Each structure stands twice: as structure tokens, then as C-alpha cells.
A and B are shown apart, each in its own frame.
Chain A
Amino acid sequence: MKETTQKSVPALEITDLTKRYEKATAVDKLTLTVQQGEFFGFLGPNGAGKSSTIHCITGIAKITSGSIRVFGYDVETNYRIARAQIGLAPQEFNMDIFAPTWKILDYVAGYYGMPSEERKIRIDELLERFELKKHRDKQFRELSGGLKRRVMLARAMVHNPKLLILDEPTAGVDVELRHELWNYLRELNKEGKTIILTSHYLEEVELLCERVAIINQGTIVADQSMAAYTKGGKRLEETYLKLTKGLHA
């Protein structure tokens, strides 16, 4: 999996993406670019096409038409290199519920081709970072909702990806973890990681993201800097509601 990335290449480049499920169109000719190092918010009401887009980027769903490139690598023709760059924390728990925490991380790191010694160091680092050390041998099903969310995040980061896609990462977590996670994400972003965040907590998006795209009924209805959304003392929420509700009416 030889990989070279130029600084000028976008972290994510989606061109005319369409995703259909039988007769329903979830994503309709969506075009979007996220530059390297951006902290990018991807918003939209339920069923707007956010998760479908994410599933197409990561390989969970088949692309109906259009193309997606991650750091210049096509996610279909060059899927090995493209996928190695992405870390995904999906909205729904999709774990082997009987596997202990450390093994979940070990398995996934292995799937990404990390050698055993490297895995061990990385897993210890993440267990420490997400305060999961004392839960390392517990099965996933034995963990509380907040701890499960932490394991999901640790799993997304275990192979040290350059692009992190976090789909509702703070849903169901306590305030402390939410704040810790925000700090951690800022830190990662400063280190150069590109982060795509979807969240229904708009204050979270306002606090973290420098650019936000809003998707509704499968198409992008706004794509601008956070400053543009909050210009004149407005809240992101106001613009968001105007755009999504207005289009629903």
C-alpha cells in the first residue's frame, strides 16, 4: 500500500455523487471538497443524506454514480490506500459486542496492517487517552453508553488516520467527556488531521468547525465558513433552521 500525498491535494473530493436505494434518492449529484487540515462540519436534518454520503466515502455503501477521492485516491479503484487514510466513528454502534475493549482495537489495527508491536503501543496510548484502561478487558456489551462511545472513537483513531469522520460522536456522552473530546479533536486538528464532524448539537459545530456544509434532501444547500454563518451576531442554528425548514416547506 504505497502512498504519497501532496499538500495541495484535497483531503476529500466528492464529484457529482448520487446514491440511490432502489427508488429513493438519498444523495443527488453532490459535489464537495474538504481541504487538508480543515475542521469541517457536515450538517443536515435526519434523512438528509449525511450518513449515506459518509457510507459512500468509507466503503459501507456502493456509489450509484459520481466519484470520491481521498487525498487524491479514488475510493473504488484505489480503495486500499484511500481507506487507510480514513478513520470512521459511525453514529450507530457496530461492534462485536462480545469482544473486550483492547481486542476490538487490536483486531481493527490489524486489519489496517499495523504490526503487533506498533499496535500494542498505539492501543495503550488510546486506552490512556480515553480513560479506558480499567475497562480494557470488559466486553463491549458490559460498558455504559458513554464508554461505548469512547471505544468507538478510539477504534476510529487506532490506525492513526489523516482524515477523521465523526458521525454524531458525542451523542449520549456526559458533559465531561464531551469537553475532553472537543479538546482532543482540536489538538488533533492542530497536528494536521482533517476532521469531518456531523452533529445535531449545533453549538458543538459552531465551537469547533471552521467551515460548514448543510445538506438537505440529498443536495448541498449551503457551504461556507463559520464566520459567514455567524456574521452579524447570528447563531449557526438560525441559519441552519432557515435553510432546512425553508426548503422543507
Chain B
Amino acid sequence: MLSNWIGLGMMVRREIERMNSAVIQTLVTPWISALLYIFIFGRVVGSQITIPGDYTYIDFVLPGILMMNLISSSFAHTSFSVYFARFTKNVEELLVAPLSYWEIIFSYTIGGIIRGLAVGAGIYVIAILFSAATINHLGLFLFYSIAVSAIFSLAGIVVGLWAKSFEQLSVLSVFLFTPLTFLGGVFNSIDLFPEQLQQLIRLNPFFYFISGIRYSMIGVQESNQFGGVVLILILLIGFGFFVRSLFQRGYGIRV
């Protein structure tokens, strides 16, 4: 399964170097966007909002903003990387090398996780400047950050294999991830939604990602933590084997 460690390490290095070669796009853009979100929604608008509990509105929205960026960054990293490798036919370099499918999948996924965490770390530093960075459960915080980045890195690989044009890379992000994130409670407690919508939101996995990381940071619990962890593990394993099966079939890469 995994034995070519030098090859795996080299692929990860390549992914990191690709991220570093376009820092404005890969890191600075999400940091600036998060800074504006935190300033406008957290500080300016948030100062006028009172919410129940011992925390401010900026404390409440920060975990959601962090999760939103972890998702979009890790997804964007692998989807672009895989699609670009297909577009230039450079993926053939990997296909002819003595690398297993798992080694290729792990390398891309680790690359996506690293980008997600790099973006997340920058946002956390910005949050410190606004005195909004707290962590109640470090273990859970790391689990949610890494596991959700991994899930969306894997989702990015699927889209990178499926896409027939650069435009298609953003389809899932625009039509699925963004609405589900906003409806998953990034800016508000789901209690503010109508009762029937709340039931639907409980079927939205993004709600568990956001609620989970919020719990790990400020201790506010809207979802069942155990259920959230189980859901994340199921998605992670399911996506992992799904991507493996796509590679096995040669979907999008081998004719």
C-alpha cells in the first residue's frame, strides 16, 4: 500500500511548492477575505448584536469563518492540482512512476490539508489581533481542522478527475459548498431559522463541521459531538475508498 516513502514525500513537497509559488492566490486572498469578515461581521456589525451566553458575536462567527476557509482552501488545492496535471498531461509522470494509488491519493490529500491548515493558521493569527482566538478543546479542534480538510481534499481530487474545464472546478463550490456552509450556521445559531428549516439543517453535514469546531473553540454546543465525529470519520473513509476506486478504474486519468 505505502512503501515508496521518498516518492510520497516528493509529491507532498511538490504540492507545497505549488502552494508557495502562488501565495497571493493560495494564502493572502483567504486571509484578507477572513480579515474583512472578522472586522465587518465580527467587530462592526457584531458589536451591535447581543447573543445569549458568555461570549461575543465575534467569538461566535470566528469558528465558522475558519471552517469555511479550511473547506474552500483544501478543496481548491487538490481540485486544481489534479485537473492541471490532467490538462498538461503531466499526470503521466505519476502513472509511469512506481507509486501506488494510495501513495498518490495520500500525497494530494496531505497537500490539501497543509494548505487548509496554513490558511487556518493565518486566520487564527488575525483572530488573535481581534482578541477572538480561544480554544477550549485542543484535541477536538485539531481533529475537526485536519479531518474536514482531508475530506475536502479528497472531494477536490474527485472534482479534479471529473472536470472537463477550469470552469467546472468551481461548480461544486458555488452550487453546493457555499450554500450548505451559510445554511450550516456560520453567522448565526440555527435556532434563528424556522423550525422546519432547522430539521433540514440537521441533515446538512456542514452544520456538524461548523458546530463541531465552534464547540472545540468556545464550548457552544448545537450538535451532538459524538455524532459529528462519527459522521466525519464515515465521510473520510468513504471518500478515501471512493477516490481509490476511481484511480483503480483509471477514471479521468488512464484511457
Which residues of A are in contact with B by a Cβ distance under 8 Å? Answer: 1, 21, 55, 58-62, 79-81, 83-84, 86, 88, 90, 92-98, 103, 106-108, 110-115, 155
We find that the number of chain B residues with CB closer than 8 angstroms to chain A is 27
Q: Report the bound CA distance from A88 to B17 in whole Å.
A: 25
Q: Are A1's CB and B98's CB within 8 A?
A: yes
Are A97 and B88 also in contact (CB < 8 A) when A55-B255, A111-B94 are? yes
Q: Are B98's CB and A94's CB within 8 A?
A: no
A-B contact pairs, 30 of them (CB 8 A): A1-B3, A1-B98, A21-B255, A58-B96, A59-B96, A60-B92, A60-B95, A60-B255, A61-B255, A62-B254, A62-B255, A80-B100, A86-B96, A88-B96, A94-B88, A95-B88, A95-B93, A97-B88, A98-B21, A103-B17, A107-B93, A108-B97, A110-B13, A111-B10, A111-B94, A111-B98, A111-B99, A112-B97, A114-B6, A155-B93
Q: Report the bound CA distance from A81 to B3 in whole Å.
A: 12
| Residues on B with beta carbons closer than 8 Å to the beta carbon of A83 | 96-98
Q: Report the bound CA distance from A18 to B199 in whole Å.
A: 55
B residues 1-16 touching A (CB-CB < 8 Å): 3-4, 6-7, 9-11, 13-14
Q: Report the bound CA distance from A63 to B138 in whole Å.
A: 49
Q: Report the bound CA distance from A155 to B97 in whole Å.
A: 12
| Chain B residue at smallest Cβ distance from A94 | B89
Closest CB pairs A-B (n = 9):
A110-B10, A94-B89, A111-B97, A80-B98, A111-B7, A113-B6, A58-B96, A83-B98, A94-B92
Q: Are A111's CB and B11's CB within 8 A?
A: yes
Q: How does the 8 Å CB contact mask read for B58-100 relative to A, with 1 for contact and 0 for none?
A: 0000000000000000000000000001001110111111111
Closest-CB distance, B78 to chain A (whole angstroms): 16
